[in-house]
Amino acid sequence: MIIFTHHTGEPHGILGAQMAATFLQQKLSIPSIVVGIERTFSKERLLRFIGDYYARERKVVAFSHLCGRKDLIELAHEMKQEGFVTILGGPQARQDYEGEPEADFHPHRFKGMKSAVDIGFHGPVDGFGLEHLNVRNRLIEHPWTKKIFLEVNWSNLHTFSDTLKKLEVRLGQVLHVIGCPYAGKKRTAILPPPVNLRGRSVGDLQVESEGCIFCDVSRDKGFHGPVGGDRVIAQIEGLPEFDGRKIPFELIDEYPIGSLGKLIEEVGSQKIRLSQINLVCRADDINVHASDLPEILSQARKQGVKIMFASIGFESFSDRLLQYFCKGITLADIVECVETLRRLKDRFGSHFLYRRDEGANHGFIRPTPWDDGETMQEMDRNIFLHRLFEDILPEHSTPLIIHHASFLGDWIRKIESTTDITFGRDGTWIEWWNPSL
């Protein structure tokens, strides 16, 4: 079986898809590979490769981690029309299979992937069995638990642009926590209409959110806690090595610092040689554990391990936008975090990484629906005053993406249901910048 997914072509793994392929091969005896399709690819050559691959294989193909790409959704349609059994798994599988609420009554809304997919599978792969291959036109759901299958064959990943290329993974992922603790934080946001709808009798709307309002993880996965220290160590042991050390890996945990010291200590006691741990986390975790970080970094330095804050979810430098995003932090919290990072850099040098020119890419969402002159002025002033352009700002910002299943998707649908305005859809995304005026 081929599991198709989005890929940038960079040498990083795709944990979920590679874990799924490993499970299918080891537990169900289904030979499986992952093929990451790059943004620019030859459709003709891809179809030729698929034809050759399945010449002697059962025609079952899976899709995961589509990143809203319409070309991958169209590929699933084509595969089904060619007689393939098509499976959709991975992030937002349930939501993307079912589509938006009341899509039958609102033709412009995303209708889901039922016409392109025979089997929707939501949850960890260990709930999938051979009997499910005979199911049609159905969503199968399996609950998340701490005992999920966590083995990965890191050599099963390929990329495709003009031809199939085996990818040597140089950045892996290790699952520490399932979901995000902040996803359990229920909040109510009062959101004004997009700037381009001001003066059109569109009022402020109340929107309920769990976690960050733009995030679809809370509805997709929620929070199920840590998988356990022994299982984290087992994942690290399974990583490839380069120059006698484990390749760098992202520790999947939005609040990793509280347990990071213990993990480094355990890895050292088992004589596992690490190269670098990448953290993708929230600013408030750094602030809460600022006094613990020097000891943790000293411990890592003794073992020759670099610690990188690869991506911190700042997202904005405007208190108003942070409030709309339901981030649970303020600009003052961000400034405190940045000052901590700079002090640690002065002390630990090359063993501590967080800067843009060191490979970090911190969250900065811009443009947003609420970018007026006042907000832009506030943002630019804060960036200048706190010298964020020196080390924090990414090479380019990320436009606000509204996945149809996020809480911001609810906001858009509320606007649509209370006015005669509709917004464009682009695959699984809602075009907040494209209202019908």
Beta bridge partners of 190: 206
What is the pLDDT at residue 201?
A: 86
What is the pLDDT at residue 118?
A: 98
What is the pLDDT at residue 376?
A: 96
What is the distance between the terminal CA atoms of the chain, rounded to a whole angstrom?
46
Question: What span, in angstroms and rounded, lies between the C-alpha atoms of 60 and 23?
Answer: 16
What is the pLDDT at residue 217?
A: 78
State the sign of the Cα–Cα–Cα–Cα dihedral 13, 18, 19, 20: positive
Question: What span, in angstroms and rounded, lies between the C-alpha atoms of 187 and 208?
Answer: 6
What is the pLDDT at residue 221?
A: 86
3-state secondary structure the chain: CEEEEECCCCCECCHHHHHHHHHHHHHHCCCCEEEEECCCCCHHHHHHHHHHHCCCCCCEEEECCCCCCHHHHHHHHHHHHCCCEEEECCCCHHHHHHCCCCCCCCCCCCCCCCCCCCEEEECCHHHCCHHHHHCCCEEEECCCCCCCCCCCCCCCEEEECCCEEECCCCEEEEECEEECHHHHCEEEEEECCCHHHCCCCCCCEEEEEECCCCCCHHHHCCEEEECCHHHHHHHHHCCCEECCEECCEEEECCCCHHHHHHHHHHHHHCCCCECEEEEEECHHHHHHCCCCHHHHHHHHHHCCCEEEEEEECCECCCHHHHHHCCCCCCHHHHHHHHHHHHHHHHHHHHHEECCHHHCCCCCEECCCCCCCHHHHHHHHHHHHHCCHHHHCCCCCCECCCEECCCHHHHHHHHHHHHCCCCEEEECCEEEEEEECC
At 41, which amino acid appears? F
Rg (CA), the chain: 22
**pLDDT tens for the chain, residues 1 to 437:** 999 999 999 999 999 999 999 999 999 999 999 999 999 999 999 999 999 999 989 999 999 999 999 999 999 999 999 999 999 999 999 999 999 999 999 999 999 999 999 999 999 999 999 999 999 999 999 999 999 999 999 999 999 999 999 999 999 999 999 999 999 899 999 999 999 999 888 999 999 999 999 998 778 888 999 999 999 999 999 999 999 999 999 999 999 999 999 999 999 999 999 999 999 999 999 999 999 999 999 999 999 999 999 999 999 999 999 999 999 999 999 999 999 999 999 999 999 999 999 999 999 999 999 999 999 999 999 999 999 999 999 999 999 999 999 999 999 999 999 999 999 999 999 999 999 97
What is the pLDDT at residue 389?
A: 97
Q: Is 123 left (phi over 0), alpha (psi -120 to 50) or beta?
A: left
**Where are the domains positioned within the chain?**
2-166, 172-186+194-403
Structure tokens at 308: 């990188």
What is the pLDDT at residue 106?
A: 96
State the sign of the Cα–Cα–Cα–Cα dihedral 95, 98, 101, 103: positive
